[in-house]
């Protein structure tokens, strides 16, 4: 799994990019990024402390439902949808970076 430091670095890079190009999307980006970061932090904490795999699977489902609900709530509260989507997209991007690095190192 990617480290939380990698997600923070991607978040900082995205924040700086939006700061210079699309400042109107910035509030949604910060909301989406903090949402995914803290949900992932809580899930990682539970996984690290030896929870059963069946419980972790159920928690992963609830995490996705909660994530979708909170993202929709942020958009309904007036945050820019593109910014929220960009903030949420950092987790899959960090997964792809980690997977590509892992494949390269295994060769």
| Overall number of domains in the chain | 1
Range of the domain at 89: 4-100
Q: What is the dihedral of CA 26, 30, 31, 35, to 10 degrees?
A: 150
> Would you call 31 exposed, middle or buried from its count of C-beta atoms within 10 A (0-12, 13-18, 19+)?
buried
> In this predicted structure, what is the pLDDT of residue 9?
67
Are the beta carbons of 86 and 31 closer than 8 angstroms?
no
What angle do helix axes 26-48 and 53-76 make, rounded to 10 degrees?
Answer: 170
> In this predicted structure, what is the pLDDT of residue 69?
84
What is the pLDDT tens value at each position of the chain, 107 positions in all? Answer: 556 666 666 666 677 777 677 777 777 777 877 887 787 777 777 777 766 777 777 777 777 788 788 888 888 888 778 777 777 777 777 777 777 777 777 77
pTM here? 0.63
106 within a domain of the structure (yes/no): no
107 within a domain of the structure (yes/no): no
> In this predicted structure, what is the pLDDT of residue 24?
75
């Amino acid at each position: 799994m990617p480290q939380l430091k990698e997600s923070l670095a991607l978040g900082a890079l995205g924040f700086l990019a939006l700061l210079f190009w699309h400042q109107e999307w910035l509030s949604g980006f910060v909301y989406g990024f903090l949402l995914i970061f803290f949900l992932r932090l809580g899930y990682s904490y539970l996984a690290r402390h030896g929870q059963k795999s069946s419980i972790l699977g159920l928690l992963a489902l609830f995490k996705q439902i909660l994530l979708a609900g909170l993202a929709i709530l942020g958009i309904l509260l007036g945050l820019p949808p593109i910014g929220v989507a960009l903030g949420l997209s950092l987790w899959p991007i960090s997964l792809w970076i980690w997977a590509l690095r892992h494949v390269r190192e295994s060769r």
